[in-house]
Amino acid sequence: MNIGITGTGSYLPSIVTKNSDFKNHDFLNEDGSPFAHQNEVIIQKFKGITGISERRYAENNLNTSQLAFFAAEKAIADAKINKEELDYIIFAHNFGDVSDGKTQGDTLPSLATRVKHQLQIQNPKCVAYDLLFGCPGWIEGLIQANAFIKSGIAKKCLVIGAETLSRVVDRHDRDSMIYSDGAGATILEAKDDTGQILSHNSATYANEEAFFLFFGESYSKASKEDKRYIKMYGRKIYEFAVTHVPQAMKDSLDKSGVPITELKKIFIHQANEKMDEAIVKRFYKLYDMEMPDGIMPMSIEKLGNSSVATIPTLYDMVKNGKMENQSIKKGDVVIFASVGAGMNINAIVYRV
């Protein structure tokens, strides 16, 4: 039997926030000083670098675990399985449930437990746990689920990636325009005539790279609130990603034994359009090849960066024909690859 993805589902929040919605934000430098440029110029440069035109924010009455529940229901239905047969629910996120208007995350009970509760699964042998691995969390969840199934202790696993980053951003930080909300879910199971994880690769760089992403204070020195927000050193992350992710992808592909000429798609974390293009171009350069047209589906223009949710959402969209000029079919070989807080990187070579 193969171990493959038999069902996918995603949830895109209904609130569309365009770049123009940031024109009245009071963007500040790290030291609290104002930018020399007007917001129109800042937004224009932001679009040119990231590729983002708009992003989705969760409705005020919904939180991360609820978005995940919606995606999970779809994945279970798509796989045509009995939810009571699930052995594991692995939920990748980074900030827990953050209620609208607050920045404190709630992880008691775990978000995986909350999803199991919302799914009304009665089976106590269905083990639910959370996974914190930065943006590569969903991929790492697939790797863990694959190991559980391969070892014989599980047959069916639900792997979720969901986040509401819009609730942990500093409105005075221009990087706040990058982040978005969403959820993606997949069913991984051992089954005849299904896809197969061919190889994988993970790494954590925790020396000088450990705090490239961190929780920090607002850039507004006038703020008296004792709150922390997601912060990042964008240039350092860019340099780290384009240096390490291409090699991680190559190591995985070489381990799989599949020639690069047979690779059909690369589903890469939707972090930054220019960064993603640089990563994939460098990956192909390692094989003395040019990056093929259409190899890298991109959702970031309309959906922004929803962290762990970006890849499962993107895969679900392409698999179900919801992205123009992008498709996959049975037997195609694809790569999932991500980079994020930790600093963590990982990749999976997967035959659809």
Strands 263-268 and 333-340: parallel
The Cα–Cα gap between 203 and 125 comes to: 30
- Beta-carbon contacts of residue 109 (< 8 Å; ≥ 6 apart): none
| Amino acid at site 80 | K
CATH number (3.40.50.720, 3.40.47.10, 3.40.50.1480, 3.50.30.10) of 198-351 reads 3.40.47.10
Residue 56's φ and ψ, nearest 5 degrees, are: -105, 135
What is the pLDDT, as a whole number, of residue 346?
97
Burial of residue 321 (CB within 10 Å: 0-12, 13-18, 19+) is exposed
The Cα–Cα gap between 185 and 215 comes to: 27
- Residue 68 CA: distances (Å) to CA of 91, 161, 283: 8, 7, 32
Domain at 2-193, CATH homologous superfamily: Thiolase/Chalcone synthase (3.40.47.10)
What is the pLDDT, as a whole number, of residue 92?
98
- Beta-carbon contacts of residue 11 (< 8 Å; ≥ 6 apart): 67, 68, 70, 71, 74, 162, 182, 183, 184
pLDDT digits (tens, 9 = 90+) for 211-243: 999 998 888 887 777 788 899 999 999 999 999
Are the C-beta atoms of 159 and 142 separated by less than 8 Å?
yes
Q: Kind and range of the H or E element at 158?
A: strand 156-164
DSSP annotation of 292: P
- The whole model's pTM is what? 0.94
Mean pLDDT of the chain: 95
What is the pLDDT, as a whole number, of residue 152?
95
Kindly give the confidence (pLDDT) of every residue in the chain, 352 residues in length, as a single tens digit, with 9 standing for 90 and above: 899 999 999 999 999 999 999 998 888 888 888 888 889 999 999 999 999 999 999 999 999 999 999 999 999 999 999 999 999 999 999 999 999 877 678 899 999 999 999 999 999 999 999 999 999 999 999 999 999 999 999 999 999 999 999 999 999 999 999 999 999 999 999 998 889 999 999 999 999 999 999 998 888 887 777 788 899 999 999 999 999 999 999 999 999 999 999 999 999 999 999 999 999 999 999 999 999 999 999 999 999 999 999 999 999 999 999 998 999 999 999 999 999 999 999 999 999 9
The Cα–Cα gap between 44 and 20 comes to: 10
What is the pLDDT, as a whole number, of residue 104?
78
pLDDT digits (tens, 9 = 90+) for 123-146: 999 999 999 999 999 999 999 999
Question: Angle at Cα 145 formed by Cα 139 and Cα 147, nearest 5°?
Answer: 110
Cα–Cα nearest to 22, from 7, 44, 4: 44
**DSSP letter string over 133-151?**
-STTHHHHHHHHHHHHHHH
Are the C-beta atoms of 120 and 191 separated by less than 8 Å?
no
pLDDT digits (tens, 9 = 90+) for 277-318: 999 999 999 999 999 999 999 999 999 999 999 999 999 999
Every domain range in the chain assigned CATH 3.40.47.10: 2-193, 198-351
CB contact burial 107-145 (16+ within 10 A = b; e otherwise) = beebbbbbbbeebebeeeebbbebbbbbbbbbbbbbbbb
- Beta-carbon contacts of residue 91 (< 8 Å; ≥ 6 apart): 65, 68, 110, 111, 112, 115, 128, 129, 130, 131, 141, 160, 162
DSSP annotation of 125: T
Are the C-beta atoms of 137 and 127 separated by less than 8 Å?
no
Are the C-beta atoms of 27 and 39 separated by less than 8 Å?
yes
Distance of CA 282 to the CA centre of its chain: 21
